[in-house]
Amino acid sequence: MDAGDHQRYRIDDRVSTGPVESWNGLDRTLDRPVTIRVLDPSTEIGKRVQLQARSLTRVEHPALLHVLDTIDLEDHFGVVTELLPEETLEDRLSQQSRFSPQEAITIGIQLGEALATLHNAGFALGGLQAKDVGQRKDGTVVIVEGPPTSDAIGIPARPSDDIGALGELLHYLLVGFRPQIDHQGRYELHPALPAPLQQLIRRSVDRDSQWSDATALVLSLRSLQQDFDRLPYGVETTQSDYLRAERTWFAPVAIIAVLAGLVIITGLFVTRTETTPSLAGGVSEVVRLEPEQTILMDNVSDPLADVAPVTSRPSSPSSRLVIVRIVDFDPAGDNDRKEHTEKLDQINNGDSSNGWYTERYTTSDFGKLKDGVGLIIELGPTPQLIDQLRISSPTIDWSFEIFASQDSSGAMQKWGEAVTSRNEISGTITVPLDGAPAATLLLWITDLGKRLPAGGHRVTISELKVSGRPLFG
């Protein structure tokens, strides 16, 4: 496509591909930027979107992309809308881990009203995730996928699906992951959620007691918003407060306690390496199972001793780093020393309801069979300065340590001391690593947390994101 495709609209850059493509453009008549959704009207999807767009041109709500125009582009059809926001709720979550209850309720009201408007017009989205919702610069949100500007997110698209999806989204915004489903098919909501919000989300996701329509859900959200200051939004001290871990980063007393804990953990770790198979040995075993990799065994006692001092330019911005590979790590396991390798591809697959998980153990300390299990996160051939690691898990009250190595081959002579640790963690947490130089990270799980409803203990990891900067430059 080029600027001559339409007399009124200039078509510039394509921002997304698929059956319905999105392009940035300019309305020459009004001199305003627009987004143009382009599709083939001869396809089944194209026919549906064309019908929806023309039917919903007069349907307006701030949280629905406003259809400004429909245009013909030779053998294609175009839906002209306001310019898409640059940021989605998923982007926000990657930066701040979770939203406050006030923010989540406000967003829920906007989206619930938009769904009610859409349902009253005879349409539905069929689902709703954080990546499907954009956030404008003024803080308001807008649904950027689904009718009236693209095909339904899920088919069949029913209003009940949208109400359930909005409940799951609220849970995701508040704790960093969607509600889990237990072995009986029931939703498990995070215990750190305030009781009124738990009840509201429960009535959204459970089909047997679901809200009659989106308007009923909105009314309940508005009631919570009005009474917010009087509601018990603090979590009982006996529960697992998912904010506790991040608040302690900034408390001086807690920092002293963490440092003292690290000294103790370091001593225990050194003792463990003298009496049990070393972590490094386990790594070499894991890497040997990958025939396509070259294994480099260095006989030098400390291969990092001659590494030049780390320097970096303060102006280098932190950004998302590419994870080359994630390897399960169970040095004290059976002969294969693996821990559910087949589940590794469920980390970072965009679905927070599943993920990689450990074996199920009888106690949170691995049935006293081992000191822990972990995941090796490979970041590339050269070390980088690691600023933070974002971890999402539905497990309640689990604990971990993080180790960093500048060796990328996997045949590390030793991991050294843990760079940081966290205890009794729940939900999504962003762990600062303060620019630690590393080509490989080890997430070492030391406690499996609370007992599962189905019995036993295990940790599930649904997402791992690493941010950092070049080591030099």
pLDDT tens per residue, range 397-428: 899 999 999 886 544 446 788 999 999 988 78
Round to whole Å and give the CA distance between 365 and 416.
Answer: 22
- Asked if the structure places residue 239 within a domain, the reply is no
**Domain coverage including residue 276:** 244-470
**Tokens describing residue 231:** 């509601």
452's CB contacts (< 8 A; 6+ apart) are: 360, 458
Point out the least confidently predicted range of 25-34, 145-154, 379-388, 442-451.
145-154
361 secondary structure, DSSP code: B
From 65, 82, 99, give the residue that closes a domain.
82
- Measure the CA angle with vertex 444, ends 442 and 448; round to 5°: 150
Using 50, 70 and 90 to split pLDDT, how confident is the model at 276? very low
pLDDT of residue 413: 44
Regarding pTM above 0.85, the answer is no
Point out the least confidently predicted range of 19-33, 265-279, 322-336.
265-279
Walk across the sheet containing 67-73 and list its strands: 9-16, 20-27, 32-39, 76-82, 67-73
- Asked if the structure places residue 371 within a domain, the reply is yes
From 207, 230, 253, give the residue that closes a domain.
230
Residue-averaged pLDDT of the chain? 79
pLDDT of residue 229: 56
pLDDT of residue 436: 92
Structural domain count, the chain: 3
**Average pLDDT, integer, range 464-470:** 92
pLDDT of residue 244: 36
Tell me the CATH number at 201. 1.10.510.10
Round to whole Å and give the CA distance between 323 and 269.
Answer: 27
pLDDT of residue 155: 85
Q: Ranked by mean pLDDT, which of 114-128, 252-266, 302-316 comes out on top?
A: 114-128
pLDDT of residue 239: 32
- Asked if the structure places residue 35 within a domain, the reply is yes
Using 50, 70 and 90 to split pLDDT, how confident is the model at 248? very low
Using 50, 70 and 90 to split pLDDT, how confident is the model at 1? very low
pLDDT over 90, % of the chain: 41
Asked whether residue 46 falls in the same domain as residue 97, the answer is: no
pLDDT at 272 over 60: no
Using 50, 70 and 90 to split pLDDT, how confident is the model at 238? very low
The phi, psi pair for 172, rounded to 5°, reads -60, -45
**Average pLDDT, integer, range 386-400:** 91
- Measure the CA angle with vertex 279, ends 276 and 282; round to 5°: 95
pLDDT at 257 over 70: no
**Average pLDDT, integer, range 74-79:** 86
- Asked if the structure places residue 432 within a domain, the reply is yes
Better-predicted residue by pLDDT, 199 or 19 = 199
Q: Is it true that the peptide bond before 147 is cis, omega within 30 degrees of 0?
A: no
For residue 57, CA distances in Å to 41, 43, 67, 121, 410 come to: 17, 21, 5, 11, 57
**Tokens describing residue 19:** 């059956």
Using 50, 70 and 90 to split pLDDT, how confident is the model at 301? very low
pLDDT of residue 312: 41
pLDDT of residue 385: 94
Asked whether residue 281 falls in the same domain as residue 364, the answer is: yes
Asked whether residue 48 falls in the same domain as residue 157, the answer is: no
Better-predicted residue by pLDDT, 426 or 271 = 426
* C-beta separation of 460 from 182 below 8 A: no
Q: Read off the pLDDT of residues 125-142 as tens digits, 9 standing for 90 and up.
A: 999 999 999 999 999 999
* C-beta separation of 398 from 447 below 8 A: yes
pLDDT at 473 over 50: yes
Asked whether residue 154 falls in the same domain as residue 272, the answer is: no
**Average pLDDT, integer, range 382-386:** 91
- Asked if the structure places residue 107 within a domain, the reply is yes
Point out the least confidently predicted range of 123-132, 202-211, 235-244, 419-428.
235-244
Asked whether residue 196 falls in the same domain as residue 93, the answer is: yes
- Asked if the structure places residue 238 within a domain, the reply is no
Tell me the CATH number at 394. 2.60.120.260
Asked whether residue 253 falls in the same domain as residue 318, the answer is: yes
Asked whether residue 187 falls in the same domain as residue 300, the answer is: no
Point out the least confidently predicted range of 36-45, 235-244, 433-442.
235-244
For residue 91, CA distances in Å to 75, 85, 129, 166, 390 come to: 35, 11, 12, 18, 13
- Asked if the structure places residue 237 within a domain, the reply is no
pLDDT at 168 over 60: yes
Point out the least confidently predicted range of 73-82, 223-232, 337-346, 359-368.
223-232
- Asked if the structure places residue 136 within a domain, the reply is yes
Asked whether residue 51 falls in the same domain as residue 100, the answer is: no
pLDDT of residue 310: 42
Owner of token pair 């979590």? 235
Asked whether residue 384 falls in the same domain as residue 410, the answer is: yes
Asked whether residue 74 falls in the same domain as residue 94, the answer is: no
pLDDT at 236 over 70: no
Asked whether residue 226 falls in the same domain as residue 252, the answer is: no
Tell me the CATH number at 11. 3.30.200.20
**Average pLDDT, integer, range 319-334:** 88
Asked whether residue 40 falls in the same domain as residue 151, the answer is: no
From 230, 256, 274, give the residue that closes a domain.
230
